Structure 1
Amino acid sequence: MAMSAGTFSESETHVIITYTQDDGTTERLDTEDLSALEAAAIEEAMDDVPWRVIESRLQVQDPTALRAILWAFRRRTEPGLKFREFDVPGWRRRVRARITREEISDALTNIMREALAKSEDSMIDAVTPHLRKLAEDPDDVDAVLDGLGKGHLTRRAKESAG
């Protein structure tokens, strides 16, 4: 399911990139830790793609966007590393973009505002599986729903009703 442009707040989306290394350990990279120069270098390396577009491409696990984030962090220790030469073998199983609880809260709050205006929960219900998939911790989705007074839409509520 694609998320609507208004789902996430207009501010930058906080994205966590996880990379499983050859030895099985997981490296966690946070886009908030990028400097302005690193973000600009990513935009330039991706043919002047604006940062907001890069963030949306991360949300759909775009391989070029994922590779660009890894490349920017690698350049900290390997300054001469060229983007066009940087590869991530097995990227589908090794690299993931995830969102934080704060992003989940922002998204569900925005959806809830829209849903309340229409007196319906279907919008929230429709997006929660996608948010669980994107979430760094899928249980954060239920915690945010509980906090918004929508506990009846949580996974455990649905399981106990079924």
Structure 2
Amino acid sequence: MIVTYTQDDGTVERMSTDDLSALEAAAIEEAMDDVPWRAIEARLQAQDPTALRAIVWAFRRREQPELKFADVDVPGWRRRLKARITRDEIGDALTNIMAEALSKSEDSMIDAVTPHLRKLADDPADVDRCLDELGKGHLTRREKESAG
């Protein structure tokens, strides 16, 4: 997952949860009252301010080891902090959904989730690329738009 932080001057800082060490992830879990990492990821997808702030805190601690979680604040967090999923995460989600859809011989499950994945995606075009890779290219946005 990618967390972006838009600075006061408009520059965007990108922080990938893939770059966190196991100790940093554990520190985030502990700072958030022992919330398991899987729940933190779900909260990031939901744009939860505490989870977003925790990622910023973990990255800031690399330069400021004594920084306390309670001391990290992001005024205007709704417009300045965003969590987005990566292409690998899109591929994993679509693979899981596709396995379930194939067992039921239906594409409607994939069709229903793709708008949500596009909204969460760091690069929305990754959703179509992953659908193509899974042999579900007929469900991509560009095909639907050209057919309409």
What is the TM-score when the length of structure 1 is the normalising length? 0.88
Q: Of 97, 100, 117, which aligns to 2:103?
A: 117
Q: Of 60, 66, 69, which aligns to 2:46?
A: 60
The equivalences for 1:10-159 within 5 A come to 15-159=1-145
RMSD: 0.9
Percent identity of equivalent pairs: 81
Q: How far apart are residue 151 of structure 1 and its match?
A: 1.4
Cα offsets for 1:29-54 (capped at 9, x unmatched): 01111122211111111111111111
Flag structure 1 segments of 5+ consecutive residues without an equivalent.
Answer: 1-14
Q: How far apart are residue 83 of structure 1 and its match?
A: 1.0
Q: How far apart are residue 138 of structure 1 and its match?
A: 0.1
Partner SS for 1:87: coil
Runs of 4+ in 1 over 4 A off after TM superposition: none
The aligned counterpart of 1:161 is 147
Flag the structure with higher helix content.
2
Partner SS for 1:18: strand
The aligned counterpart of 1:11 is none
Which of the pair has the greater relative contact order for Cα pairs under 8 Å at 6+ separation?
Answer: 1
Distance (Å, rounded) in 2 between the aligned partners of 1:116 and 1:160: 26
Q: Which amino acid aligns with 1:61?
A: Q
Cα offsets for 1:77-134 (capped at 9, x unmatched): 1122111121011111111111111111111111111111111100000000010011
Distance (Å, rounded) in 1 between the aligned partners of 2:96 and 2:59: 31
